[in-house]
Amino acid sequence: MTELPPNVLFYDGVCAMCNGIVKAMLRLDRDQRFYFAPLQGSTAELARSLHTSFPREMETVVYLREGEVFLRSRAAALALAEVPYPAKALSWFRFLPAWLTDFFYGLIARVRYRVFGKYDHCPLPPAEHRTRFLP
């Protein structure tokens, strides 16, 4: 693979909370516009080689939209803006300053393993959605 799909959400593949959010996004994404890839995988490595702003750390969500990289709270808000209401309403925080929303994002990111748990390896996605997951 040398090219990436237009809408890819990268997540921490061993984070139980992150995997739960991905499952929720799968339910919300009725138009199937998103692909998903763990930050620990080869797709993320390809994205890092193609985009200098793509992070190496695992404590962030990355939304690669049409070749543009969005991180942390901005990535989450822009992804939520793509799904139908009522979940779309949560994207309102994209209008708040990033320093504020990223502060709260960082608080959650730091405790996510302690609160929600951590897998030993990335779990397999549900069989009916596997075509939407990249390595």
Longest alpha-carbon distance in the chain? 39
Residue 57 lies in a domain: yes
Rounded to two decimals, the pTM is 0.92
Residue 97 lies in a domain: yes
Residue 1 lies in a domain: no
Question: What pLDDT digit, counting tens, does each position of 2-30 carry?
Answer: 689 999 999 999 999 999 999 999 999 99
Number of domains in the chain: 1
Q: What is the pLDDT of residue 87?
A: 86
Residue 21 lies in a domain: yes
Residue 40 lies in a domain: yes
Question: What pLDDT digit, counting tens, does each position of 92-135 carry?
Answer: 888 999 999 999 999 999 999 999 999 988 888 888 999 999 99
